Structure 1
């Protein structure tokens, strides 16, 4: 069995175990606990971060399936499996809380960070806002994802690293806010883990780009 098939099999196992584990952990943690409401930081964070994570999973899967670089194939698998597991845990919370797994299609994001209109956060377009946004910071556009799917070789590897680095850095703001302001301890704990893992992976991607003579994407 070649390396790609091994990684795919391992990824399926991670997804299945993560989904089941997320439900079991979430049920145990939230039993006899008042669930957060739809407008809460906890629900908003879980739904928006799942959207953010699932795009990272998509990009990592493209790289994993198409790169010829074993180091980056392994790195893409690590990103994919980590974010799938975290997404599964958040899905477990949302199920137990009786909330949708994702925001409504076309609904704005990051409203849960508004804090009465006084907290300022990124608007996903290089500026700041105290309200909701249509595109979360770091999210790739449809055109960028289409380009990623068409590239090969070094160009694929570099563009993947650039997109994923921007994606990781864009998601930090949401995770940092939830780590500080989430109502549930387990929500704050996962948000803090996301901050730590994505900061570490961002530093690693910067070194990978430098090794390939490339730079991060400019800020939007």
Structure 2
């Protein structure tokens, strides 16, 4: 009796394992190579997100402005979740979380702040830090939008492209909010990152980043 009860479950388990194996054997479902566009994008966007979380945490610890605290918390929670997702992909792909990330010049071109700019969020007066945060984070988000453009248009894995669409939508909306908050404070945005990603190849190893 027990054997007859367990057999269908065992067969179902075997079928599911077989389907999972078949899924990863389908064309385009092999794990991306170390030099792939997917691995590069995930590592660089993780690096980008880590700094955004750092800046948002610094500002949220100081400001009492409810809108700014809510914006900072949204950035922290959403980007922590996306980092977990991206690191999960690297694990499934058999790739280390570390590896070649953006160098200082590339990071700057993608809107990332310098260490001194990040540190200023702790040392400026609170009103000044609020304005500086909005300026730095707005530029940071503009860099992220530049980073996702090749992914949205390129022949990459659908899960990576879906994340790129999510980043574009959420950070585009946050830029609009930051514009209004800067205007309320009589402050102007920083110049956009000086990097045009439209013609940039997101491809394999050995490529140069002319920024």
Do residues 57 (structure 1) and 53 (structure 2) align? yes
- SS of 1:159's equivalent in the other structure is helix
**Count of matched residue pairs:** 169
| Structure 1 unaligned blocks of 5 or more | 1-27, 110-122, 125-132
TM-score by length of 1: 0.71
1:148 CA displacement: 1.4
Q: Which residue of 2 aligns with 1:92?
A: 88
* Residue equivalent to 1:144: 117
Tell me, yes or no, if the aligned pair for 2:44 and 2:102 is still in contact at 8 Å.
Answer: no
Q: Is the 8 A contact 2:110 2:147 kept in 1?
A: no
Q: Which residue in the other structure is 1:191 paired with?
A: 164
Q: What's the C-alpha RMSD, in Å, of the aligned pairs? A: 2.1
Question: Which deviations, in whole Å up to 9, do the C-alpha atoms of 1:130-181 show, x marking residues without a partner?
Answer: xxx3644100001101111212321111000000000000111111211221
CA distance in 2, matches of 1:156, 1:134: 22
Equivalents in 2 of 1:39, 1:168: separation in Å? 25
Task: Tell me if 1:68 matches 2:64.
Answer: yes
Identify if the C-alpha distance between structure 1 residues 180 and 150 changes in structure 2 by more than 3 Å, giving closer, same or farther. Answer: same
- 8 Å contact 2:108–2:114 — kept in the other structure? no
CA distance in 1, matches of 2:41, 2:185: 35
CA contact (8 A) 2:139 2:191 kept: no
Higher relative contact order (CA 8 A, sep 6+): 2
Paired position in structure 2 for 1:102: 98
How far residue 62 of structure 1 moved from its aligned partner, in angstroms, is 0.5
